[in-house]
């Protein structure tokens, strides 16, 4: 789960990459919003999902890989399994249902972000 937030004076790019010996490492930034810093100055706050170069062919990204990276940035694999199993075991429990609904909402949002990333030209970071 990605609890790390990044801050900057400029709005982050939706997608960027950096070159390494093995290829490109893509970063997808999401959840960007303006906030106030400790000194009262206006800042941008966002989270990022990184797609290591080993996860896809050198020549590009796919919708499925972007969605997967975004979902996994918010929900660790064991957390997703726990939420799924809890829901299957007791779908009428309001707390379990709320966790399930939140995860499904994030998956839907991740799909929309992935579509936008594929339309957005990634730039070097």
Nearest CA-CA partner of 74 in 21, 4, 7, 20: 4
* pTM (global) more than 0.85: no
Q: How many angstroms separate the CA atoms of 105 and 113, rounded?
A: 12
Q: Quick check: 56 pLDDT over 60? A: no
Q: How many angstroms separate the CA atoms of 54 and 41, rounded?
A: 39
Q: Quick check: 77 pLDDT over 60? A: yes
CA distance readout (Å), 63 to 31, 32, 93:
18, 21, 33
Q: Who's near 58: CB < 8 A, 6+ residues apart?
A: 23, 24
Share the mean pLDDT of the chain: 87
Q: Quick check: 124 pLDDT over 90? A: no
Residues 5-15: pLDDT tens digits? Answer: 999 999 999 98
Q: In this predicted structure, what is the pLDDT of residue 62?
A: 83
Q: Quick check: 22 pLDDT over 80? A: no
Confidence at 18, pLDDT banded by 50, 70, 90? confident
Q: Quick check: 3 pLDDT over 80? A: no
């Amino acid at each position: 789960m990605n609890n790390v937030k990044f801050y900057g004076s400029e709005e982050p790019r939706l997608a960027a990459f950096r070159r390494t010996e093995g290829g490109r490492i893509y970063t997808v930034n999401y959840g960007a919003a303006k906030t106030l810093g400790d000194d009262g100055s206006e800042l941008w706050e966002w989270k990022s999902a990184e797609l290591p170069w080993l996860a896809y062919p050198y020549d590009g990204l796919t919708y499925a890989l972007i969605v997967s990276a975004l979902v996994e940035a918010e929900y660790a694999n064991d957390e997703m399994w726990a939420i799924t199993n809890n829901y299957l075991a007791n779908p009428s429990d309001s707390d379990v249902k709320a966790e399930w609904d939140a995860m499904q909402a994030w998956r839907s949002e991740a799909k929309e972000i992935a579509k936008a990333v594929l339309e957005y030209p990634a730039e070097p970071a």
